Amino acid sequence: MVVCSFCADEIPKGKGIVFVKRDGTTYYFCSSKCRKNLLKLGREGRRFKWTKASRRFKEASATKAKEK
């Protein structure tokens, strides 16, 4: 399965949006909410609590803090 470029959710086959920039960069989006946040508003997915990317980022930073 493909993963959303903004929120890191899995996208089932036949759903979602594929966006290709002029330079050939490919983005996969599960919803228009994700597409607008990344392309139109220029936001990063790891900064929003509702995204899986945010949860993964916080878990990684928490484990690094425990190691120190």
CATH code where residue 41 lies:
2.30.170.20
Which residues partner with 10 through β-bridges?
3
* Whole-number pLDDT of residue 58: 76
Coil, strand, or helix at residue 33?
Answer: helix
Question: What band does 68 get if pLDDT is binned at 50, 70 and 90?
Answer: low
Q: Quick one: residue 42, left, alpha or beta (phi over 0 = left, psi -120 to 50 = alpha)?
A: left
Higher pLDDT, 62 or 12: 12
Q: What mean pLDDT is reported for the chain?
A: 88
Whether 6 shows a pLDDT value over 80: the answer reads: yes
Domain hosting residue 42, numbered range: 2-67
